[in-house]
Structure 1
Amino acid sequence: MTEGVVRSLGSGRFLDWGAMGAQGTAGGILVCWDKRSLSLLEMEVGQFSISCRLRNVEDGLVWIFTGVYGPFARKDRETLWEELGAIRGIWDDPWCLGGDFNITLSQWERSRQGHLNGAMRRFAQVANDLDLLDLPLQEGLFSWSGGRNNQSWARLDRFLGVVQCRLPRPTSDHFPILLKGGGLSRGPSPFRFENMWLKTEGFKELLRDWWQGAGGRGRASFRLASKLKAMKEKIKAWNREVFGRLEVNKSSALQQVEFWDRVEDERGLTVGETELKNEAKENFKKWVLLEETHWRQVSRELWLKEGDKNTGFFHRMANAHWRNNSVDRIKINGVEVAEEQEVREGIVNAFQHQLSEEPGWRADIEGLHLQCLNHNEAEALELPFTEEEIHLALMEMNGNKAPGPDGFTMAFWQFYWDFVKEEVLELFKEFYDQNSFAKSFNTTFLVLIPKKGGAEDLGDFRPISLLGGLYKLLAKVLANRLKLVIGKVVSADQNAFVKGRQILDASLIANEVVDYWQKRKEQGLVCKLDIEKAFDSINWNFLMKVMTKMGFGSHWLAWIWWCISSATFSILVNGTPAGFFPNSRGLRQGDPISPYLFILGMEVLSALINRAVEGGFISGCRLHGSGGIEMNVSHLLFADDTIIFCEARKEYMTYLSWILAWSEAASGLKINLAKSELIPMGEVADLEDMAVELGCRVGVLPSKHLGLPLGAHHKALSMWDGVEERMRRRLALWKRQYLSKGGRITLIKSTLASIPIYQLSLFRMPKSVVKRLEKFQRDFLWGGGSLERKIHLIN
């Protein structure tokens, strides 16, 4: 057994394991556990068993698990019993054994009962001597089938001393046996509006009555906040007392269907009974659909529509997301913390510091020229909000996205707009008149999403903000206004979030520059910059100065200031809120207005570079096109991805370092020079000195820029390795899920087929790569997963 084989099971970065090797084609045991729940103390590997001494992470309980693959030959069984006796001799802790013992405890555990033989007696004696209790197997009598036409059945597989049940058997001659135990502890979860309630008959009328009956005092936002609080309590009580538990209701409905099936097996049904049976079936279908809607919302797999019998898939993906995002231990500033309370406090303290502005001098940008809005464009941003634009923004939003602290999904506001709109419009009017709203609408949950597999350091997680629904709607309306004029003030060097510009423009131009230098064998430098925690560190006063210089009006500035400065944060650690604190810098990833504000701030860096080029302090790359057209490309920006081109001269690196230092002093955006790199074009003398001057490392071509190859030969097969790996990794993940054929087709169309499209926009795919990618998709569609193979009906 190898690490690679174990990792191919796709169990995530928290997997730990031990193994006993096979003997030819027989035997072999793999024991896996989740490191967040269990820690390994000791391990003993025998000829027919592997024993692990484990400690529960939650309560510190030490116990033993032994995996067994029993020998078939009678003479070898004594070796197994001796191994088990030795384990009890060296460790005196609670013990659980499980596996294929290749022997039954009694003749009753065989379909052809026969008689109680010496081997059975010996097995029972060993279990008794070791104080192991055998409990009845649930969901079936036997765990193995074989012999001629699979007519022989026996219970060869078991756990001793624990509750167990038999699971379905897809292909093996053994049924899997489930050991029922505890799991990772989750704290109390915040209220979340369930979109399945939208499908419940009569629920809309209930909500309308509750909404109209709820009152409040004060300004519009306070009244609305009071209404939402009352609604939350009403909904929770209704869910508890009327709607009930989803799984219980579904089970009850299924029992009704099974009851009428049994009656029909015994005799014919009357007309009335037939109607009752049909009603029972419809009731069961209703609960199945509601269950699917629930798990789709929790799983966040929104590409797949409900109603195609993919509940199992949604359920597994929801659990997989939770496992992947959960944090049991983490390194913060190089120090690892593992105790639950220490993890929570450490994460909160780290983000509280990260989102706090450090006092000090800020460079002035007053003398810098920035493009400006005209009077009409600035006035259009400050017009009164209309019902039409608010409703349009609302319907553009995804109703299934995770809600913020208020718990209400956007689907709630979309579905009940006809009777909630009056209060929402009053909120917008208050914001327009007073430049503010109740701060409770701007509370935020920060969720930590791993940037990579095996994330251990806090820096390996990306903080995503979950916002309250009403604030998110307001920010969406502001963003819709801003994106109409942002192209007027953002230079052509920026390609992100501006209408008519796209990410491929930046990648295409970057590759054109590199190709131009390579063909002419000219010397040059490509500087790829990494901005450290870009969204979290931008200075608010800097943003206000930038927008003022760009001609934004005072009303607009007041709105933006309130949106970014009135926020408060709690960190969701394993699904439970921790901490409550304000911020004094940064923009929230997940806020609809944040990307547009950020590129306004990045315009200062772009203007500084352009000014340096005009003054001869940085050269750029002069591209000569057809017809004598000449264009100087000095830099390209896409949000916080920055790439700079210049001639290979040390003084240029000195000037560039000054520009970056000035930009940081003005904006708070710090270049992470340890992750930035200087890539030479041609034979560049004194390259190391130039890298030291700038403070970054030396890189090589081919490289990556915005997820696409940079400087790679267009026929190189290796440039497609990343595409193949992403598709293979996605398939490895999805193959262990139980998607219907319709779901697999949808996945191929919406996700898998789009993986190579981005790179195909610039590069031609070799035929050999095309064939491999097509085979991945065919195998996924027709193979039905990793447990079975099917004939490919279409080539």
Structure 2
Amino acid sequence: MAENPPPGSNSIDGGSKGKGASAPNSAELARVNSAEPNQSVPATVQPKHHDPPNNPVPPQHSRRSFAEVASSLPRQNYHTVSPEDLRKSYLADVQPKPLGHKSLIEGQLILSFNEDETNTLAAQFRFALVGKFSHGAPPYRMMHKLIAGLGISGGFTVIMINAKHILIQLSKETDFTRLWLRRIWTIQGFPMRIFKWDPTFNPSQESSVVPLWVEFPELPAHLFQKDALFAVANMVGTPLQLDDYTVNQATLTCAKVRIEVDLNRPLLEEFIINIRGVNLVQKVVYEQAPQYCKLCKHIGHQENDCYVRGNAPKPAKSNLRHKAQPRKRNIVQQNRGFEGAAHTWSNRITWERLDRFLYSEAWLDTFTTTRVIHLSRTWSDHAPLLINLESNIVKPPSSFRFMRMWIKHHDFLNTVEQSWKHPTAPSDENLTDLNRANTDLTKAMEEDFWRQKATCKWIDEGERNTKFFHSLVKKKRSSSKIHSICHQGQHILIQMRSRVCCSFFEELLTNDLVLETDNLSFLNHSVSQQDNDMLCCLPTIEEVKSAIFDMCPDSAAGPDGFSALFYQVCWDIIAQDVLIAVQDFFCCTPMPKNFKATSIALIPKVLNPSVWTDYRPISLCNVSNKICSKIMNDRLSRILPRIIAPSQSGFVGGGSSVIIFLAQELIHTLDEKRRYENVVYKLDMAKAYDRVQWQFLYNVLRKMGFNEKWIQLVKNCIEQCWFSVLVNGDKAGFFSSSRGLRQVTPSHLLFFIILAEYLARGLDQLFHRNPALRYYSKGGSDVNHLSFADDIIIFFQCEQKEYKENC
């Protein structure tokens, strides 16, 4: 048996005795043989030594093959390349990474993408929305400009998908949320519905993911924190927005969160909240969840009402016509007013208005200033109609108006508080700086006005925010426009004669008559000293607050733009300053000029107004003026039942129904056959409030027992009022009045009732001196007149001949 070579020998052949490369042992051979085909194993190579002269290498081993030489080289510093890597081509190196997985199922070739691949590809569309036009669409070239008018703050891209669908790719999440939550936008008269884009979008279907307001009633108070609310909302869907009242914890009745909900899944009605081992059942209430059809994948109806029923036959033709009928009926919705002659057809005996211009809501959205003018008849028996689509009205700059939506901003009260408490230091230098700043501001506004377009479409979403409501508002605004008017026999255009617009009302409110009011003997001294003390005492903070919160929060604002809602919401901030101002007024301090500024709004009284008397002037006062007037009204109402005649009891609580029943009872005896016939005479005093003489009112108040301090308060309330007439939204004129009362102001109505007491007492005195004039009634009611403000009914009797001669 051959012996193992000694250590350090360099033998290649296991049986040779000479020095050479040592053969590997059995363990090494086993490790090399057991290695994988693609696995490289480092070879152990001994250091090379020179052969001594007395022991040369045998000649048969002097020549080695290339494989033997290569195997003897050190390999631990070289990378081993697998056969697959060697087979790579240049095309494989430059191709992108393959996506998706191909498969063949039931003979159908399918390409599948996993969740990670889908999320990676859809990352750039995370703020993308799909706009769908149901009835036509604006030109694609104008699409970008029109969508920019929706108030988008960041960048966006509009991509056309097909004739009815566009892809709106936004860059800001705030724009994405605002557009999506609105859900329906109107672009140049075309309604566009908004859907959230997702990787499974199909133009023939509608997304089932919609934002809904969800309420969580009786949620524990400690869960009204933002993090806790989002955790609760996650049980239903993805939370998007918190209600302001919920964030501010203004109410703990329920928490309100807008959540992204998938209508394809059943809506969760309740779930369990575990707190310290106690299970609480939490109800979930959805507000106006739309119906979603899982058959046709459209919003608006359920499966039972869907015409897509698998292989079911199509509905009968009569049913289709029946379903289409409501749409045909809604094409023409409104009848436009007219200008010119009242009749358009005549046969020389009968005159009628047979020709009308009818329009739809889409027409009004496109042509908001449509005018219909009746022209003179020529050879036809019908008058031609001129449809004018151009307006001669130049839109004035928008004035400031306090908007209800501002109070929902989370930082609204902080902003008001900081501005309200900002220190002011009036001085001549500050006034000069203010005038200079106003000049610069006016110049900047003139340069930038036509480049700015401020839209005010964030109105409260509620029951009034419907298509029918918007249609009525548009028609009302269109019909209230004044294009032309007949003034002093001349037909003038409003735009060309702005001064003429307010001259009529300036003459109406200017005193041109002095009345002699010496005969006030039949008025009684009915106001006591205790009543005067109550009327003139300084109001308390509770009285001022009650006057403010009794006002309608959404009533029209005055020239300063602040409605009663601002005072109600910001009461805790402005309470002390408002109290000081009101108490100064009750100390007989005159009101500042801006407090008493009033705008006159013109409301049409007839369908087609043509002269100024066809409009009803409504005074829009500042709330700061209304507060003082409201307090005076509340105090005067306490003593009013004791100082006015029973015939004016319509202004006493519950008295209006008594007057109505009494008038009906007296009219039943109108046809009684008597020598002296019963007569009912109704008087309507034209412009009664506007023609009130102030001095006459002061004399009546003084005669009835009101002290001089109260009369001075009345003077400060009604005198030196400055008026501007609102014509098509623009203010015309700025003039002061010398007579008249404002009908919408609470205390002015009671001032008129007290003034009407003079007429009531005078009629009573007349019938007392002439008993033969008394009206005959079966019940023996001794009533000679009934009045309600400026409407008076007089009951008397006289001979028919005498009536015709004197009436």
Counterpart of 2:806 (choices 663, 668, 693) is: 693
TM-fit CA distance, 1:497: 2.3
Counterpart of 1:508 (choices 655, 661, 664) is: 661
Q: Deviations over 1:131-160 (max 9, x none)?
A: xxxxxxxxxxxxxxxxxxxxxxxxxxxxxx
In the alignment, what sits opposite 2:713? Answer: 559
Q: Deviations over 1:504-562 (max 9, x none)?
A: 32222122112124356672111111212101001101111111111112111111111
Q: Deviations over 1:689-724 (max 9, x none)?
A: 624523xxxxxxxxxxxxxxxxxxxxxxxxxxxxxx
* Contact 1:491/1:603 (<8 A) preserved: yes
* Contact 1:42/1:53 (<8 A) preserved: no
* Contact 1:373/1:489 (<8 A) preserved: yes
- Structure 1 residues 736-751: aligned runs within 5 Å: none
Give 3-state SS (helix, strand or coil) of 1:623's partner. Answer: coil
The amino acid of 1:543's aligned partner reads: L
Distance, in Å, in 2 between the alignment partners of 1:487 and 1:42 is 57
Q: Deviations over 1:41-96 (max 9, x none)?
A: 89999xxxxx998666546xxxxxxxxxxxxxxxxxxxxxxxxxxxxxxxxxxxxx
* Contact 1:494/1:637 (<8 A) preserved: yes
Question: Cα 1:42–1:506, aligned 2, differ >3 Å: closer, same or farther?
Answer: closer
Q: Is 1:467 paired with 2:621? A: yes
Counterpart of 1:641 (choices 788, 791, 801) is: 791
Counterpart of 1:191 (choices 372, 377, 400) is: 400
In the alignment, what sits opposite 1:11? Answer: 335
TM-fit CA distance, 1:405: 0.4
- Structure 1 residues 476-487: aligned runs within 5 Å: 476-487=630-641
In the alignment, what sits opposite 2:142? Answer: none
Question: Cα 1:9–1:478, aligned 2, differ >3 Å: closer, same or farther?
Answer: same
Question: Cα 1:554–1:216, aligned 2, differ >3 Å: closer, same or farther?
Answer: farther
* Percent of residue pairs bearing the same amino acid type: 26
* Contact 1:355/1:537 (<8 A) preserved: yes
The amino acid of 2:724's aligned partner reads: S
The amino acid of 2:781's aligned partner reads: M
Distance, in Å, in 1 between the alignment partners of 2:488 and 2:331 is 28
Q: Is 1:572 paired with 2:726? A: yes
- Structure 1 residues 83-162: aligned runs within 5 Å: none
Give 3-state SS (helix, strand or coil) of 2:598's partner. Answer: strand
Question: Cα 1:618–1:13, aligned 2, differ >3 Å: closer, same or farther?
Answer: farther
Question: Cα 1:208–1:423, aligned 2, differ >3 Å: closer, same or farther?
Answer: same
Q: Is 1:213 paired with 2:422? A: yes
Question: Cα 1:203–1:413, aligned 2, differ >3 Å: closer, same or farther?
Answer: same
TM-fit CA distance, 1:621: 1.7
TM-fit CA distance, 1:336: 2.6
- Structure 1 residues 346-385: aligned runs within 5 Å: 346-370=500-524, 372-385=526-539
Question: Cα 1:381–1:52, aligned 2, differ >3 Å: closer, same or farther?
Answer: closer
Say which structure, 1 or 2, has more relative contact order (CA 8 Å, 6+ apart): 1
Distance, in Å, in 2 between the alignment partners of 1:326 and 1:474 is 33
Distance, in Å, in 2 between the alignment partners of 1:458 and 1:617 is 43
Question: Cα 1:415–1:519, aligned 2, differ >3 Å: closer, same or farther?
Answer: same
Q: Deviations over 1:706-756 (max 9, x none)?
A: xxxxxxxxxxxxxxxxxxxxxxxxxxxxxxxxxxxxxxxxxxxxxxxxxxx
Distance, in Å, in 1 between the alignment partners of 2:356 and 2:717 is 57
Counterpart of 2:484 (choices 323, 326, 329) is: 329
Provide the aligned length of Structure 1 versus Structure 2. 444
TM-fit CA distance, 1:317: 3.2
Q: Deviations over 1:230-281 (max 9, x none)?
A: 9xx9xx99xx99xx98869xxxxxxxxxxxxxxxxxxxxxxxxxxxxxxxxx
The amino acid of 2:473's aligned partner reads: A
- Structure 1 residues 608-623: aligned runs within 5 Å: 608-616=762-770, 619-623=773-777
- Structure 1 residues 240-251: aligned runs within 5 Å: none
TM-fit CA distance, 1:326: 1.6
- Structure 1 residues 384-783: aligned runs within 5 Å: 384-502=538-656, 504-518=657-671, 523-616=677-770, 619-625=773-779, 630-649=780-799, 685-686=800-801, 690-694=803-807
Distance, in Å, in 2 between the alignment partners of 1:621 and 1:42 is 52
Give 3-state SS (helix, strand or coil) of 1:542's partner. Answer: helix
TM-fit CA distance, 1:446: 0.3
TM-fit CA distance, 1:361: 4.3
Give 3-state SS (helix, strand or coil) of 1:532's partner. Answer: coil
Q: Deviations over 1:92-142 (max 9, x none)?
A: xxxxxxxxxxxxxxxxxxxxxxxxxxxxxxxxxxxxxxxxxxxxxxxxxxx
* Contact 1:478/1:593 (<8 A) preserved: yes
The amino acid of 1:641's aligned partner reads: D
TM-score by length of 2: 0.50
TM-fit CA distance, 1:308: 3.2
Question: Cα 1:348–1:618, aligned 2, differ >3 Å: closer, same or farther?
Answer: farther
The amino acid of 1:634's aligned partner reads: N
Give 3-state SS (helix, strand or coil) of 1:331's partner. Answer: strand
Instruction: Judge which range, 459-468 or 548-557, deviates more.
Output: 548-557
The amino acid of 1:191's aligned partner reads: F
Distance, in Å, in 1 between the alignment partners of 2:615 and 2:582 is 35
* Contact 1:41/1:53 (<8 A) preserved: yes
Question: Cα 1:53–1:505, aligned 2, differ >3 Å: closer, same or farther?
Answer: closer
Q: Deviations over 1:177-229 (max 9, x none)?
A: xxxxxxx54222321111110111212211111111152549xxxx9xx9xx9
Distance, in Å, in 2 between the alignment partners of 1:607 and 1:41 is 53
Counterpart of 1:310 (choices 462, 465, 468) is: 465
The amino acid of 1:332's aligned partner reads: H
TM-score by length of 1: 0.51
Higher helix share: 1
* Contact 2:585/2:628 (<8 A) preserved: no
Distance, in Å, in 1 between the alignment partners of 2:602 and 2:386 is 32
- Unaligned regions of 5+ residues in structure 2, if any? 1-328, 345-354, 360-366
TM-fit CA distance, 1:345: 2.1
Give 3-state SS (helix, strand or coil) of 2:649's partner. Answer: coil
The amino acid of 2:684's aligned partner reads: D
- Structure 1 residues 25-36: aligned runs within 5 Å: none
